[in-house]
Amino acid sequence: MVKVGILGLGRYLPSKKLTNSDLEKMVDTSDEWIRTRTGIKERRIAALHEKTSDLATKAALSALRDAKISAEKIDLIVVATISPDSNFPSMACKVQKAIRAHKAAAFDVSAACSGYLFALTTAKQYIQTGLAKRALVIAAERISGLIDWKNRDTCVLFGDGAGACVLGPVKSGGILADFLQAFGAQGDLMQVIAPEARSPFHPAKAAYTQLPYVQMKGQELFKVAVNSMADAVEKVLKKAKIKKTQVDWIVPHQANDRIISAVANKLGVPKKKIFINIDKYGNMSAASIAVALYEAKKSKKIKKGDKVVLVTFGAGLVSAANLIKW
């Protein structure tokens, strides 16, 4: 079986920052309330002219530079997103055009905050089966466009950004194990729905004025998030026959610092082994874990030979984990 590993990492973050102080002027909240309940201090917000495909393209180019690989050598592009520019063409096809990866197959994956790991696992299979030699995996979200900025329960949580990696064959290490899971019966805990049905047979519905927004049941979601992430870590380590004490770093989805702390407690893992950057970016959905992995590596916390667990949960509900030997 071909060993598949990460050859390069990249990211892109919009320049505009939305701080907790800014939000104090928009909704009934406070910096202290947000920090103590979420761990977030600020988040990035895309400019009006920046589309999800723009964020994805810039992260992709960053990863290609890091891997020292040209776009012409990419055989597959997989983009994880729940906030595309349009339903079609896909963001992956837009990235393909933008970076001129003319021979690459391209498609999107929709698994909310778990999208990056679902895409990573999918691309890995293409390489292992010989359908591709090198793949570009991107997670990009312009989730600010799905937020009701008058709802303090959700608007304080999210931000925009993109992360990417180049996958390819490696001689040793690489992605040692994967775990994917879904809990569709609990999908109503977090969702984006359009309140108006659209039909050509009902002219009264011709004018659509209400946009779909993120809706979530925070308390119920918290419990599922903690349990599913802890379970995913246990399952992926069991598949790889690796003990928790052998893990050097856990890079989790950055949704809420309280969730991350609860997962650490449930696993019995010291929090110093968990990489956290939620204070700077908030929840960027699929892009959160991609950007966190980039920063963990570039800050030299992750070193050659380290065993790293990536773990996430997201709307759907879905959860995922990957174990990587760097």
Range of the structural domain that residue 209 is part of: 177-325
Query: Between β-strands 307-314 and 318-325, what pairing exists: parallel, antiparallel or unpaired?
Result: antiparallel
Does one domain contain both 144 and 293?
Answer: no
Does one domain contain both 154 and 280?
Answer: no
Does one domain contain both 187 and 137?
Answer: no
DSSP state of 212: P
Does one domain contain both 158 and 240?
Answer: no
Cα angle value 252/258/264 (rounded, 5°): 55
Here the CATH number for the domain that contains residue 109 is 3.40.47.10
Give the total residue count for the chain: 326
Q: Look at residues 120, 153, 172 and tell me which one is the last residue of a structural domain.
A: 172
Is the CB of residue 77 less than 8 Å from the CB of residue 95?
yes
CB within 8 Å of 165: residues ≥ 6 apart: 6, 7, 8, 9, 10, 63, 120, 136, 137, 290, 293
| Active-site annotation, residues | 113, 253, 283
Sign of the dihedral defined by the CA atoms of residues 49, 276, 122, 7, in that order: positive
3-state secondary structure of 232: helix
Does one domain contain both 200 and 181?
Answer: yes
Does one domain contain both 241 and 297?
Answer: yes
Does one domain contain both 236 and 128?
Answer: no
H or E stretch including 309?
Answer: strand 307-314
Does one domain contain both 153 and 100?
Answer: yes
Q: Look at residues 172, 200, 224 and tell me which one is the last residue of a structural domain.
A: 172
Does one domain contain both 17 and 152?
Answer: yes
How many separate domains does the chain show? 2
Does one domain contain both 18 and 110?
Answer: yes
pTM, entire model: 0.93
Give me 118's structure tokens: 């679902």
Rounded Cα–Cα distance for residues 246 and 86 (Å) = 43
pLDDT in tens, the chain (326 residues): 899 999 999 999 999 999 999 999 999 999 999 999 999 999 999 999 999 999 999 999 999 999 999 999 999 999 999 999 988 999 999 999 999 999 999 999 999 999 999 999 999 999 999 999 999 999 999 999 988 888 888 899 999 999 999 999 999 999 999 999 998 888 777 777 766 665 555 555 555 555 677 777 767 888 888 999 999 999 999 999 999 999 999 999 999 999 999 999 999 999 999 999 999 999 999 999 999 999 999 999 999 999 999 999 988 899 999 999 99
Does one domain contain both 168 and 188?
Answer: no
Closest by CA position to 73, among listed 111, 102, 44, 45 = 102
Sign of the dihedral defined by the CA atoms of residues 24, 29, 33, 37, in that order: negative
Q: Look at residues 120, 146, 172 and tell me which one is the last residue of a structural domain.
A: 172
Rounded Cα–Cα distance for residues 159 and 37 (Å) = 17
